Amino acid sequence: MKNKEKHIGFILFVVFAVLPFTLAFGYALLYSFGVIGIVNEGFTLKFWKEVFTSSTLGVSFIYSSVIALIGVILSVSLALWIVLKYRESFGNKYLSFIIYMPLAVPGIVSAFFTYQLFAQSGFFARLSYQLNWIETAQQFPDLVNDNWAIGIIITFISLLTPFFILLYLNIYKDERIEELSQLSRALGANKKQIALKVSLPIMLKKSWVLIVLYFIFLLGAYEVPLILGQESPQMLSVLILRELKQFDLTKISEGYVMAVLYTVVIMSATVFIFSRKKLRNNAY
Amino acid sequence: MFLEIQYINKSFGKEQIVKDLNFSLAPHKTLSILGKSGCGKTSMLKIIGGLLKADSGNIILDGNDISELEAEKRNIVYLYQEDLLFPHLNVFENIAFGLRIKKQKEAHIQSKVKEMLELLELEDQGQKMPHQLSGGQRQRVSFGRAIIINPALLLLDEPFGSLDAGTRQRMQQLFKDIAHKFKITSLFVTHDLKEAILMGDEIAFMQSGKLKLYKNKEEFIADPSTGVQNEIGFWENLIPKGQNII
């Protein structure tokens, strides 16, 4: 009976997860080599050469990685600080509501919200004007569609921080960090040493896989950089979609090359993370 | 006396948890404290360890009033019922924790921890993580981690409560050996009658926040409130008089 259930589970996994992914990936791969596609004329490496000789993808990859990294680092740091400093306040239902509410807000809504607040025609710009801090909208700092991706990073932080707060509150409780902290005090550790040698290492060790997965998630984010990003460089998903929707049909294959490369990098990273985790678990 | 506890009181709201706690203990001795769950023994240990603030009273350790001193400066280690090993550190680093906090030299840490691992019969386990150890091994690591920093006073809160009978017996003997070797002064709290009699040089009984110290074990056994007489009665009733069970 158990074997049968296992087989059904495996078949469903193959049908609904592996098969669509493989077909889509195969389609993209064939398109990238010019084997299929309305204006393509057969197998060629020229689209791959085009992508590798142009710096667009590389720049976009580095740009996306930096933004995702900053977003994750700031979100995790903020969540850790809030949990270590104010965990007892989460008993207050209004405060916990304020913290957890953003979990229910979709990325696209958050992005619009950031736009409405931080754009040069947004709420804070108008407020600054009313307070006579600025005389024209242009004097307000460029926080949306800007060179430094500040709007994107603010939105990422607002989306990720509540999730990490929830995660770290649970880890704090499950790993009995309160008791371990008291024990550390008895062994002579001061507050700073407890934070650096006990609380933070335990919480980070327990959450590193999720941190990496969220980095990958941000790397491939679409709606937020689409609304709040600049024209160039663009984040990966926005760039790939732009290439795939080109009017010039001969350029579409380059979009598929980028999609294939992006998929290979992400899949390799994911497999590497989970194989390491599995190895570690087996070693235990 | 090495440890003097003077008129400690502690209340949570209207409930008084510790009432007029008064006792003293000579150096290198173990005081067993018997008490049921909720009698205030954990609060008493936490107050002495500096993890809980008393409403009134003084704690004198080796002639110094430490009542207002922070926990990390008291040189008193409080051991929980569970071993509470640091899950992110291996056995070696768990034992070395207190020495690293005190920024001791690496060579000194290496030699002290290796010596401790041998003493605890854990010399081959140094690189293992806590979850790879048995309950008894974990408790031994916990002892080693506390003892290696040479605490002035060790507070043990039902340390063997979660162990099976056999392991518990071995751990009791191990603790007695270590306490003797390192000349440890300790308060050993337990709800196990036999353990209380076995482990302490002196013995006390705690009930509803009040601690009663006995002059000797005979006085403790004779006091009906400790439950020893009930225990003796139980076994006598179980085995008819004159019958040899062996």
B75:A183 CB<8 A: no
Look up the ipTM and state it: 0.82
pLDDT of residue A1: 59
Question: What chain A residue is nearest to B70 in terms of C-alpha separation?
Answer: A185
B87 contacts B137 by C-beta, under 8 angstroms: no
For residue A184, the chain B residues in CB contact (below 8 A) are 97, 101
Answer whether A175 touches B (CB < 8 Å). Answer: yes
For residue B212, pLDDT over 70 is answered with yes
A202:B70 CB<8 A: no
| Type of residue numbered B240 | P
B149 falls within a domain = yes
Of B47, B35, B40, nearest to B16 (Cα)? B40
For residue A185, the chain B residues in CB contact (below 8 A) are 50-51, 70-72
B192 contacts B22 by C-beta, under 8 angstroms: no
pLDDT tens readout for residues B41-98: 899 999 999 999 999 999 999 999 999 999 989 999 998 888 899 999 999 999 999 9
B51:A188 CB<8 A: no
B14 falls within a domain = yes
* Structural domain for B93, as ranges: 3-213
Rounded to a whole number, what is the distance in Å from the CA of A186 to chain B's nearest CA? 5
A190:B131 CB<8 A: no
The whole-number average pLDDT for the span B16-29 is 91
B230 falls within a domain = no
Q: Of all helices (H) and strands (E), which one includes residue B137?
A: helix B135-147
B202 falls within a domain = yes
B240 falls within a domain = no
> For residue B64, what is the domain's CATH number?
3.40.50.300
Average pLDDT for runs of 10 along chain A of length 284: 77 90 94 88 90 90 95 96 88 78 88 93 93 91 89 94 93 94 92 95 94 92 92 89 83 91 90 75 50
Residues on B contacting A at a C-beta cutoff of 8 Å? 49-51, 70-78, 80, 84, 86-88, 97-98, 100-102, 129, 131-132, 145-146, 149
pLDDT of residue B243: 62
For residue B242, pLDDT over 70 is answered with no
Strand partners of residue B4: B24, B60
Q: How many domains does chain B have?
A: 1
Of the ranges A125-139, A237-251, B126-140, B196-210, which one carries the lowest mean pLDDT score?
Answer: A237-251
Classify domain A57-283 at the CATH class level. mainly alpha
pLDDT tens readout for residues B95-113: 999 999 999 999 999 999 9
A187:B131 CB<8 A: no
Question: Residue B88 is nearest to which of A183, A193, A205, comparing CB atoms?
Answer: A205
pLDDT of residue A281: 57
pLDDT of residue A284: 42
SS3 call for B5: strand
pLDDT of residue B181: 87
B51:A193 CB<8 A: no
For residue A176, the chain B residues in CB contact (below 8 A) are 84
pLDDT of residue A155: 95
A187:B77 CB<8 A: yes
Question: What chain A residue is nearest to B102 in terms of C-alpha separation?
Answer: A188
